[in-house]
Structure 1
């Protein structure tokens, strides 16, 4: 990845960080809440990418990547209670994921090597971005 794309992909994490501490769950008019796939859906929507509303459906997008080749902004899929992907997180770099954690009930960072996630990891996917998606904030 060239340096400009790397810098641009860091904008994904900047957007994701705006959600740190947001409660896990489904919101109503008076409160903001999100689940894992709603979190990734909202973050990537800011960059013009429309993702479906479940981890299983989101896992059908992009191309598979090896863990050793992860780049900031890649999606990681986990098996938590189904045979298909039931949890999704965004790779934040430096061995960290950012996600809406059911266990902690909020959006947070976690270590990719944490036993819980290592045991449940299925695969990672890289979504296709144009430079326009990454450099222009969508409303």
Structure 2
């Protein structure tokens, strides 16, 4: 009986919350990423039809009027280097996944996690401490001004 009541209360909360509140009180960066989580991977993709890793970054940062180079290799030379311990949401993180240097990138979203377009699973959130990414982490770059950072962190109401 107790489980049934909890299930009903939970269902009511979901159905009465309204669609507009899904992104309420989330930072704009988080909401922008969440809107495209699940988008399939597409080599060379820069639209919601499909993204590659750098195309996903371009899509998100375009919403904040930040212009970046097209590829992860060139993005890794933009902005200023950031130590892993000093990452903040909106920083770019870079990986060597093919043994030939920078070959994958994502957006740090906080709490040790980053958003990226995985070639096998599309846009998703992964942990920097996940064994695959931990071994392949190369560097991070801060590519936004303080003003843009504050805009990214403002909540959607």
TM-score range, shorter chain: 0.7 to 0.9
* Equivalent in the alignment of 1:113: 129
* Contact 1:48-1:133 at 8 Å conserved across structures: no
Q: Which of 75, 98, 104 is matched with 1:81 structurally?
A: 98
* Equivalent in the alignment of 2:151: 135
Q: CA RMSD in A?
A: 2.3
In the alignment, the residues of structure 2 paired with residue 135 and residue 72 of structure 1 have an alpha-carbon distance, to the nearest angstrom, of: 12
SS in 2 for 1:122: strand
Q: Show structure 2 runs of 5+ residues with no match.
A: 1-26, 153-157
* Equivalent in the alignment of 1:7: none
Q: Deviations over 1:83-130 (max 9, x none)?
A: 3311001111011111101132x1001111001001111001111325
TM (norm. structure 1) is 0.80
* Contact 2:90-2:144 at 8 Å conserved across structures: no
In the alignment, the residues of structure 2 paired with residue 20 and residue 68 of structure 1 have an alpha-carbon distance, to the nearest angstrom, of: 26
* Equivalent in the alignment of 2:12: none
TM (norm. structure 2) is 0.72
Q: 1:133 to 1:93 in 2, by over 3 A?
A: closer
Q: Which of 53, 56, 71 is matched with 2:70 structurally?
A: 53
Greater Rg by CA? 2
Q: Show structure 1 runs of 5+ residues with no match.
A: 1-9
